[in-house]
Amino acid sequence: MINYPNKKKVSNQKLTSSANRGMNFESMINRTNEFYRDNDLAIIHKKPIPIQIVGVDYKTRSAAKITEAYYKLPSTTDYNGIYKGYYIDFEAKETKSKTSFPIKNIHEHQVKHLDSVKSHGAISFVIVYFSSLERIYFLDSDVVSKFYKRAKTGKKSISLDEFEETAYLIKEGYRKPVDYLAIIDKYYIKK
């Protein structure tokens, strides 16, 4: 079930960038994807969290209770789906920093995954939310790869200036809190 933590509060506010203040980033993306699906624009879902199940109690036939399980490292990214025939794949990250994003927040296998799907024709990217600044950036996976490689020997983070130079700013909105398809329409899909 989709969670709307601030539905009541938000509905009384103006449709400004502060409309989504207080909503967590995952909820903002989920709400956006739900809007896309409800309006049949794109079918993009968040993948479930990968769990290693160790113990299950089958006391009742209808509802098996998992009694011991552990979080696993995800082997791919969090979101994928289809838009206008394109396979879409992305990871979303949030930082409270006002100056830079630590590259270690993205796992190496996720960078590799984004690179691979791109080589097969996907539109792949990372969305980074600077929550203190209320700014959301769309980073193409090629740019992510470049910074990832640099971090192996050099700077371990992407500065805000570098975001300004290499990423697209995603506009916030009320019905589509993180309207990343607007970026795809503008910069990826030829009319």
Q: Which residues make up the interface to its own copies (CB under 8 A)?
A: 37, 40, 42-43, 45, 47-51, 53, 63-72, 74-76, 80-87, 89, 113, 116-117, 119-122
Backbone torsions φ then ψ of 59, nearest 5 degrees = -55, -50
To its own copies, the closest distance from the beta carbon of 15 in angstroms equals: 28
- Minimum CB separation from its own copies for residue 169, in Å? 26
Cα separation, 173 vs 150, whole angstroms = 34
Place of tokens 């109690």: 57
Q: What are the angstrom distances between the C-alpha of 83 and each of 42, 104, 157, 184?
A: 5, 29, 31, 9
Query: Whole-number minimum distance, CB 65 to its own copies, in Å?
Result: 6
Q: Which is nearer to its own copies, 69 or 169 (CB)?
A: 69
Between 8 and 70, whose beta carbon lies closer to its own copies? 70
Query: Residue 24 CB, nearest distance to its own copies (Å)?
Result: 16
Answer for the pair 147, 106: CB distance below 8 angstroms, yes or no: no
Closest CA to 167 of 116, 109, 132, 125: 125
Minimum CB distance to its own copies, residue 128 (Å) = 23
Residue 48 or residue 154: which is nearer to its own copies going by CB? 48
Which of 40/165 has CB closer to its own copies?
A: 40
DSSP state of 103: G
Query: How far apart are the C-alpha atoms of 148 and 104, rounded to whole Å?
Result: 9
Of 18 and 75, nearer to its own copies (C-beta) is: 75
The token pair at 160 is 């805000």
The C-alpha angle with vertex 156 and arms to 155 and 162, in degrees rounded to 5, equals 70
